[in-house]
Chains A and B, each alone.
Chain A
Amino acid sequence: MACPTTFRFTFWKLVFAFLMAAGLYATLIRFTQGLGASTHLSDQFPWGIWISFDVLCGVMLAAGGFTLTAAVHILNIKRLDSIIRPTILTAFLGYILVCAALMYDLGKPYNIWHPLIMRNPHSVMFEVAYCVMLYTSVLALEFLPVVLERFHLEKPLQVMRAILIPLVICGVILSTLHQSSLGTLYLIVPEKLHPFWYSPLLPVFFFLSAIAVGLAMTIFESSMSSKHFGFELELPVLEELGRVLLVVLAVYAILRAEDLARRGALKLAFRPGYETYLFWVEVFLAIILPLILLAQPRIRSSPNGLYFSAVSVVLGFITNRMNVSITGFEGSTGVHYFPQWTELAVSGMIIALGFGLFGLAVKYLPIFPGEELAREQRLEPESEMAATRVAEHAGD
C-alpha cells in the first residue's frame, strides 16, 4: 500500500512549494521583527485573520471529528464507520495547525503554557486554552489506532479499543464546550460588535454551525478523496449526511432569524452598507443556497449536488466567522482591517500544510481501511469506472 512513487512535478505540487516558500519567508519576518512589522494589526484591531481564519475557522472546519465520532460510536450509526478515519485525521490535523497558528499570533508564544499553572476560570480564553489542549490530546488518542494498526501493534490496539467510548464522550463534551466557547469569547463586547453578529446566543450559533460545517466538511473531504485517490464514493452515506445537514441548517436558520428579529437587527438587514452586504453573502452561502439545494432529493442524491452544497456551507460559515471577528468590529473601531501579505502567506502555508499532511497520511497509513476489500466486492459489470480506477491505483 505504501509504495513511494517516483517524484514528479505537478501543478498542485508547485502551488504547494510556492505557498510553503512564501509562508516560511513570512515566518522569518514574524519571528525576527515582531507583530507590528508582519501584520496590519493595531491597537484598534488587535485580532486579525490569524485568529479569524486560522483559529476560529480552523476549529470550525475540524468539527467533523466530534460530529462523526458521536454519530458512529454514541448513536451507533454503523454506516458512517467507513468515513470516520479521514474525518478524525482532518480534525487532528486541524487542531495541530490551529496550535501552530496560535504560536504566530501570540505576542509571547513562549508563554503559551502559562494557562496550565496560572488559572483564571472566569476567562473564556482560559477555557478555550484548556479545551484545545485536552481535545488535541483526545484526537491524538482517537487517531492512534490508525498508526498502531499500520505497525501491527496488537496489545496497545486492544487498550485503545477498551477506552474508546469514554474517550469519544470526552471528545464530544470538550468539542461542544470549545466550539461554543469560541462564540462565548465575543459575549463580552456587546457595544463593540455589530448587531448582525452580537447575540446572547452566540455560543449556540457557533456550536450548531460547527456541526453543520463538520458534516459539510465530511462530504467535501469524501468527494475530494474519491476524486483524488480514486476511491469509490460512499454515496448513500453522504446522502444521509446531507439530510442531517439540512435539518441542522434549518434549526440554525430558524434560531438565527428569530434572534435577529427579537433584537431588532432584522430591519438593519435591508439598509445598504458594507456590513449588510457581507451579512447577506454569509446568509446566502451558509443558509439560503444549501437549504434550497439540499431540500431537493434529486440534488441531495447526486454527488455534484452534495459537493456543491457542502462547499457553499463551508464558505458561508467561513464568511460568518470572519464577519463575527472582523467585519463586525469595523464599525465600532472605525478602522478598516485588511491583512498584510505576511498574514495571508502564513495562513496559506497552514492550509497547504493541512492538505500536504492529509495526503501523506492517506498514502502511508490505513486511513481508508477496507477500501480494497470493499471495492473488490463492489466490482460489478456496470461499474467499469471503478474497475479502471482500482487498476490504476494498484499500478502505482
Chain B
Amino acid sequence: VLRRRFPAAVTPAITLAITLLPHSAQAPLEKISGRCEKDGPEEYFMSKALLYDSTLCIGCKQCEQACASQNGLAYDDRIAAEQYQSAHKLTCVVTRGDKFMRRLCMNCNDPSCASVCPVGALEKTRLGPVTYDPSKCMGCRYCMVACPFSVPKYEWGKLFPKVQKCTLCPDRVAQGKQTACAEVCPTGATKFGERDQLIAEAGQRLRDHPGQYVDHIYGLAEVGGTSVLLLSAVPFETFGYRSDISPDPLPLLTYRVLSQIPDFVALGGMVLGGVWWITHRREQVALREGREANENKRGKR
C-alpha cells in the first residue's frame, strides 16, 4: 500500500524541480534590487560612482588613510602594509610589481549582500552607496558568504561584532561631496562623479590609449553593474578580481526560487488537503460498505 501511495509525497519535489529548471520564469529585474523595488535599473544611470584608473595611481595610499579617518578607524604603518581588506581597513592599495590596484566594496547596482540580508541592514541607496545599519544586523554573516567579491568583513575580535565594508561615504555623497578617497587622491586616479559620465570617460580613455589598458571596464557589466568602475593595464585577475563573474545580477538566482513560494504554499496546501480527503474518503466508504454488507447478510438470514 505504502509503495503505491507514497509517490504523492514526492509531488512537492517534482513541482520544485519543474519551477527551477533553467530558463523558467525569469523574474523582472526591477523586483530584485534588495530593498528598493521602486527604483528600476535606469535609476542607477543617475547614481554616483567612483572611477579608479590604476595607470594613474602612484600607490601613495592616501586614499587608505582618508578612508580610515572618515570611518573612525586607526591607521598606522603596520596597517598600511596590509594588502587586503579587513574590518579595520575598508580599502587597500594592492601592489604587484610596479602596478597598483585598489580593492574596495564595489557598491553593486543589484547587491547580493542587500538581497540576502534577512533584516535589511544592508541597503542600496538611490545615490549609489550600499549602506549598512549595525543596529539592525543580527550577525548571520550571509552577506559575507553571498558577496561575489567577498567584500564584507567581520569584527571577529569583538564580543558584539559589526560587519565592515566601504559604503561609498553615504553621508558625504548625500551632502553633494565626493568620497573621502576621491577627494584626497593627488593624481586623479580615483575620480568621483555620475556613473554614466564616468562610464563615458572610461570608454574614452580606452579608445584614446588602447595600448595602455586592458580593454575592459571592470564594474560596467559585472553582476549587473557596480558603482565602482576600474581600469587596469594588466589583467584584473592579477589583483584578485575574478574574471568569471556573471553579467546578471546574482539576486535573480535566489529570487527565481523565492518568488514561487506563494504559489507553492497555495498549491501545496490544496494538493495535501486533496490527498488527505481522498485517502480518508476511501476509508470511510470502505467502512460504510462493510457495514452495509454486514447488514445485508444479517437481513438475508
Contacts and interface: CB of A to CB of B under 8 A. Distances in A.
Contact of A204 (B17, B138, B159, B251): B17
B73 interface: no
Contacts of A189: 145-146, 148, 250
B163 to A, nearest CB: 8
> Chain B interface residue count: which class?
35 or more
A264 interface: no
A188 B146 contact: yes
A295 B107 CA distance: 53
B258 A184 contact: yes
B227 to A, nearest CB: 19
Of A47, A123, A126, most B-chain CB atoms within 10 Å: A123
Interface stretch (B8-16, B57-65, B290-298): B8-16
Interface in B99-154: 112, 115-121, 136-142, 144-146, 148, 150, 153-154
A4 interface: no
A204 B156 contact: no
Given A191-B244, A191-B246, A74 B276 contact: yes
Nearest to B257: A184
Interface stretch (B90-98, B182-190, B203-211, B261-269): B261-269
Interface in A196-225: 200-201, 203-204, 207-208, 211
Contacts, number: 229
Contacts of B157: 34, 36-37
Decide if the interface of chain A is mainly helix, strand, loop or mixed: helix
A228 interface: no
A108 B121 CA distance: 13
B1 A77 contact: yes
Contacts of A6: none
Contacts of A70: 9, 272
Interface string A119-136: 111111111110000000
B2 A240 contact: yes
A106 B160 CA distance: 10
A32 interface: yes
A333 to B, nearest CB: 7
Given A189-B145, A191-B246, A75 B154 contact: no
21 contacts: A35-B156, A36-B158, A75-B5, A75-B275, A107-B141, A107-B160, A107-B161, A108-B139, A111-B136, A112-B138, A114-B119, A120-B118, A165-B276, A169-B273, A177-B264, A188-B253, A189-B145, A189-B148, A190-B253, A203-B20, A204-B13
